């Protein structure tokens, strides 16, 4: 029994991440990560047993324990150190930990009784931690399931959108391309100092309309279900409470979204092109086709396939060996290339394509090359802006092919789910900490729409994310779907459901204010 | 990234589990001392009973 402790401690580290992030992983993925981690520990244990050639299992188990410490504790300790020249502090820590490892091993191997006491202690500790986190995860999942079953919003959105039973002829393909965190031209100009007019002019030359666009929510996990249900997610604040971070209900609403159901009922094929690692858009059980742009198995790619895996890799020694950037770049490029081939599908298509760009990690330089590794994490604004020329070129190539290769002019919706976050949005722990500039930047989403047959009139001069799909369904399909209010709700990453309304006029008026906190400024505006 | 990579509360929970384990082991030690004492006492008494 007392040889189990390295396995228990490794399992505790993985389960902790799951318990700490309810709703941000699937159980299958958690089990895969658990199996991979325990497999690594087993390899070290068997290797040590073979090297030591001892019938006593205590020494190899201690070697495996030291490996677990190196795997998870060293990066944590190294991360807490100040950054010195040539990584000297990390190097020093490595030397100290190596000396401690060798010294402890030699001392304990000669004292089997002490080794047994250490093993018993860590077996007990590991068992307690595993039990604590496993019970926590189970309770969280039961709670999330109950919340979904009793959600009034989920019940309301389960009802079909009323409208004519058939799509008008000729049926147009609909391509919804979400460019994650793509800010609108005003934000890019005033907050980031980037002139995006050449891109917008190219889109207009192709026939796109570019109204004033805004996001209703500051987070992808709220913006996407809002867009694909043509309905606000604000009622979730009352259902889940402001302390909740669990995205299970919005994710379920996104997966079974009523816009796709409406179109499927009218003969459309729902084609889903997932993101590389974002859980909410990793899979879809309701889509007729899910396009996997990088098929097959590759271990290096699989390490970055989910947010849980990325977080654990980045918190472990594997971070020194593995990089996701090349896979991210390849996935985005392939997604846009594959999207351009969708007109070849014979049936009318509703394609939902989630592109995790210009969202971080920043994986393109202006020439579409990979930025240098050392630049990651530095000067977020420059890296964000540096991606745009490349992304713009790829998007233009895709939409040009979609228009060229479609027999019937299609509907193309290029949509940012929210704006950028270079002015302190992600650092805020409460809405009260946000400056008007950070709030305005975050809610300033990009949007450009190709709307043949006079569809631009349904959008008018301005639109928010919640009404984009509604406008399409109302204008082209005659859906009896009331227009939603263009209200904007701010919340921060620490409390995504703790909403605070942010009037568009107030945001626009105070957009250059980078010092006043949100609450103080809003209160003075009310007075 | 929405998953919080910090592991501060893991350290706290590990410390709590470690303290509980140490207490459990201390009670094991106490039990071992007790059983040693009882066996010692019974060994001292046994010769008297044999007479």
> Given A120, A124, A315, which is nearest B5 (Cβ)?
A315
Name the pTM for this structure: 0.90
Q: Choosing among B19, B21, B23, B27, which should be mutated to test the A contact, i.e. which has the most A CBs within 10 A? A: B21
Residue from A282, A352, A312, A315 nearest A26 by CA: A282
**For residue A56, what pLDDT is reported?**
79
Q: How confident is the model at residue A527 (pLDDT cuts 50, 70, 90)?
A: very low
Selected residue with higher pLDDT from A170 and A13: A13
Task: Kindly report, residue by residue over A339-389, the tens digit of the pLDDT.
Answer: 999 999 999 999 999 999 999 999 999 999 998 865 555 688 999 999 999
- Does residue A508 surpass a pLDDT of 90? no
Contacts of A247 in chain B (CB under 8 A): 2
Q: What is the pLDDT of residue A218?
A: 97
- Write phi, then psi, for A488 (nearest 5 degrees): -115, 135
pLDDT tens for A265-296 read: 999 999 999 999 999 999 999 999 999 999 99
What's the whole-number average pLDDT of chain A?
93
Q: Do A121 and B17 touch (CB under 8 A)?
A: no
What pLDDT is stored for residue B2 in this prediction? 62
Nearest-neighbour CA in chain A from B1: distance (Å): 7
Measured between CB atoms, which of A12, A128, A314 is closest to B5? A314
Contact at CB, B13 and A307, closer than 8 angstroms: no
Q: In terms of pLDDT, which residue wins out, A306 or B3?
A: A306
Compare A208 and A83 and report the one with higher pLDDT: A208
Angstrom distance (rounded) from CA A395 to CA A406:
16
User: Residues of A numbered 493-522 whose beta carbons fall under 8 angstroms of chain B's beta carbons: which are they?
Assistant: 493
Inform me whether the C-beta atom of residue A76 falls under 8 Å from chain B C-beta atoms.
yes
C-alpha A473/C-alpha A281 separation (Å) is 22
Inter-chain touch B10–A117, beta carbons under 8 Å: no
- Using an 8 Å CB-CB cutoff, list residues of chain B that contact chain A: 1-5, 7, 9-10, 13-14, 17-18, 20-22, 24-25
B7/A124 Cβ within 8 A: no
Contacts of A310 in chain B (CB under 8 A): 1, 3
pLDDT of residue B47: 59
Q: What's the pLDDT at B40?
A: 77
pLDDT band at B50 (very low <50, low <70, confident <90, very high): very low
Residue A523: the pLDDT is 47
pLDDT of res. A512: 80
Contacts of B3 in chain A (CB under 8 A): 17, 20-21, 24-25, 307-308, 310-311
* Mutation site, A12, A20, A137, interface B, largest B CB count within 10 A: A20
Task: Return the DSSP state at A69.
Answer: I
| Closest residue to B18, CB basis, from A20, A125, A221 | A125
**A458-472: string of b/e by CB count within 10 Å (b at 16+)?**
bbeeebbbbbbbbbb
Q: Give strand pairing partners of A501.
A: A489
Q: Per residue in A489-501, pLDDT tens?
A: 999 999 999 999 9
Task: Categorize the per-residue pLDDT at A524 as very low, low, confident or very high, splitting at 50, 70 and 90.
Answer: very low
Tell me the pairing of strands A212-214 and A269-273: unpaired
Tens digit of pLDDT for each residue in A45-93?
Answer: 999 999 988 767 899 999 999 999 999 999 989 888 887 777 888 899 9
CB of A129 within 8 Å of any CB in chain B? yes
Task: Report the gap between the CA of A127 and the closest CA in chain B (Å).
Answer: 9
* In contact, A388 and A413? CB cutoff 8 Å: no
Higher per-residue pLDDT: B36 or A255:
A255
Q: What is the mean pLDDT of residues A9-24?
A: 95
How long, in residues, is chain A?
527
């Amino acid at each position: 029994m007392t040889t189990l402790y390295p396995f228990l401690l490794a399992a505790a580290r993985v389960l902790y991440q799951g318990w700490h992030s309810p709703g941000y992983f699937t159980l299958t993925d958690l089990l895969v990560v658990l199996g991979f981690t325990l497999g690594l520990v087993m390899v070290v244990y068997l290797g040590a047993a073979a090297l030591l050639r001892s019938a006593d299992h205590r020494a190899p188990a201690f070697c495996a324990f030291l490996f677990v410490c190196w795997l998870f504790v060293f990066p944590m300790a190294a991360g807490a150190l100040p950054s010195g020249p040539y990584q000297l502090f990390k190097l020093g820590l490595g030397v100290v930990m190596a000396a401690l490892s060798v010294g402890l091993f030699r001392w304990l191997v000669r004292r089997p009784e002490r080794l047994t006491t250490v093993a018993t202690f860590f077996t007990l500790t590991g068992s307690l931690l595993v039990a604590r986190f496993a019970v926590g995860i189970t309770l969280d999942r039961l709670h999330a399931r109950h919340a979904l079953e009793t959600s009034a919003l989920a019940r309301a959105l389960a009802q079909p959108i009323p409208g004519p039973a058939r799509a008008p002829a000729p049926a147009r393909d609909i391509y919804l391309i979400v460019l994650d965190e793509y800010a609108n031209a005003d934000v890019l100009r005033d907050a980031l100092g980037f002139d995006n007019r050449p891109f917008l002019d190219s889109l207009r030359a192709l026939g796109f309309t570019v109204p004033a666009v805004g996001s209703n929510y500051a987070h992808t996990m709220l913006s996407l279900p809002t867009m694909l249900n043509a309905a606000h997610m604000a009622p979730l604040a009352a259902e889940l409470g402001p302390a909740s971070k669990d995205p299970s209900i919005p994710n379920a609403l996104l997966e079974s979204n009523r816009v796709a159901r409406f179109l499927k009922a009218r003969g459309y094929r729902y084609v889903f092109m997932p993101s590389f690692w974002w859980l909410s858009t990793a899979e879809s059980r309701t889509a007729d086709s899910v396009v996997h742009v990088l098929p097959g198995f590759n271990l290096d790619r699989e390490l970055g396939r989910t947010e849980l895996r990325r977080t654990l890799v980045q918190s472990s020694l594997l971070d020194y060996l593995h990089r996701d950037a090349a896979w991210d770049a390849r996935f985005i490029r392939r997604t846009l290339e594959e999207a351009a081939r969708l007109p070849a599908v014979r049936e009318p298509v509703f394609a939902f394509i989630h592109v995790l760009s210009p969202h971080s990690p920043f994986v393109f330089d202006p020439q579409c090359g990979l930025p240098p590794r050392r630049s990651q994490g530095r000067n977020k604004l420059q890296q964000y802006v540096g991606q745009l020329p490349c992304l713009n070129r790829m998007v233009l190539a895709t939409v040009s092919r979609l228009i060229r290769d479609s027999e019937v002019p299609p509907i193309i919706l290029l949509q940012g789910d929210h704006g950028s976050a270079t002015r302190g949005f992600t650092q805020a722990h409460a809405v009260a900490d946000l400056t008007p500039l950070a709030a305005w930047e975050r809610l300033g989403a990009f949007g450009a729409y190709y709307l043949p047959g006079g569809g631009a009139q349904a959008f008018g001069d301005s639109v928010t994310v919640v009404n984009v799909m509604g406008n399409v369904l109302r204008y082209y399909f005659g859906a009896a779907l009331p227009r939603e209010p263009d209200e904007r709700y701010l919340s921060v990453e620490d409390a995504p459901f703790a909403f605070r309304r942010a009037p568009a006029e107030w945001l626009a008026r105070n957009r250059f204010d980078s010092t006043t906190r949100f609450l103080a400024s809003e209160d003075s505006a009310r007075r | 990234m929405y998953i919080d990579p910090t592991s501060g509360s893991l350290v706290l929970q590990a410390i709590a589990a470690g303290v509980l384990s140490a207490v459990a082991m201390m009670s094991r030690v106490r039990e071992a001392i007790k059983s040693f004492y009882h066996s010692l006492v019974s060994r001292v008494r046994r010769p008297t009973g044999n007479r």
